[in-house]
Amino acid sequence: MRAAPRTIIIVAAVLVSLGVVATAVLVFLAPRVPGMPGAAPVAEEPAPTWAPPATPPVAATTPGVGIAGLVDADWLASTSAATGIPERALAAYAGASLAKAASMPECGLAWNTLAGIGATESDHGRHGGSAVEPDGTVAPPIYGVPLAGGDGVEHIPDSDGGTLDGDTEFDRAVGPFQLIPQTWRNWHTDASGDGVEDPHNIDDAAMATANYLCRVSIHIDTEAGWIAAVSGFNSPQSYRDTVARYAVRYATSVVE
C-alpha cells in the first residue's frame, strides 16, 4: 500500500506516541449482518483468489488521538456510506493501514483487507448484538467458543487463567478480531491512545492484526503476499475466500 510522503510524515509522528505492535487468530464467527450495501457475498459466487489493495485512505490534516485519529473525517463518512462499514470500525481499519504504511511500507497492507477480516470475524464488532463504542471498545465483549477440540475446533487449554476470555478451562478467541489469549500476550498493543492494551478495543485489535499480518508476509499488495498473510492468520480456504469476497466488494464499492 502506497502513501504520499506528507501522509507518512504525519502518521509517523503519531506512531511514536502509540508504541505500536501485533497478534493472530484461529477461529472465526460468522457475520450477523453483511457489512456492505446490497447482497452479501455468497458461497455460490466464485471466490476471488485474493483482494487487491483499495485506494489508500486520506490522512487527517491534523491527527487526533490513536490510529482512528489518523484518518480524514470526510473520507470516513463517504467510504462508510459507500461500503456500509460503520465509521468507527472503518476508522480502525484505515488508521491501522496508514500506520503500517508509515512504519513498514513494504508490507502493502490495505484497509479493505483488514475490513474483510473484521467482517468475517465479528461483523465489525456487531456480532450477537454487540456494538463499537465511540472510544473503540466493543460492548458487550465478543467471545468465541471454548477451544476444547473436536468438530474442527482447535484444542487449546486455558493459558490466561480466564483473565481475557473468562474461561479457566479452555482458551477462547476474544474481541472484534477474535484473537486468542496466547497471541494477544505476544502482540498486545495500545493503538487507541487510551493507555490500555485491550483486545476488545477495535483500534488495539486492528493494529495488532495488522502487525501480525505484516510479520507473516510482506508485499500483501501482491497476490502471493496476500494469500500468505491471510492464510497465516487463519488457514482454512473457506476463511480466505470469505475475507477476499468482502475485501473486494469493499474496494469496488468506493467511488473514485
Picking from 37-51, 61-75, 226-240, which range would have the lowest pLDDT averaged per residue? 37-51
Q: What is the pLDDT of residues 208-252, one digit of tens each?
A: 999 999 999 999 999 999 999 999 999 999 999 999 999 999 999
pLDDT for position 41:
58
* Cα 113 from Cα 194, distance rounded (Å): 25
pLDDT for position 211:
95
* Cα 197 from Cα 183, distance rounded (Å): 13
Contact assessment for residue 92 and residue 71, using Cβ atoms and an 8 Å cutoff: no
Quick one: average pLDDT of 1-28? 37
* pLDDT band, very low/low/confident/very high, at 158 (cuts 50, 70, 90): confident
* Cα 225 from Cα 50, distance rounded (Å): 9
* pLDDT band, very low/low/confident/very high, at 44 (cuts 50, 70, 90): low
* pLDDT band, very low/low/confident/very high, at 43 (cuts 50, 70, 90): low
User: Which residues, in sequence order, are bridge partners of residue 219?
Assistant: none
pLDDT for position 20:
38
| Greater pLDDT, 76 or 153 | 76
pLDDT for position 5:
33
* Number of structural domains found in the chain: 1
pTM of the model: 0.84
* Cα 209 from Cα 55, distance rounded (Å): 20
pLDDT for position 11:
42
Contact assessment for residue 155 and residue 172, using Cβ atoms and an 8 Å cutoff: no
Residue 211's domain spans which residues? 5-253
Judged against a pLDDT cut of 90, whether residue 99 lies above it is answered with: yes
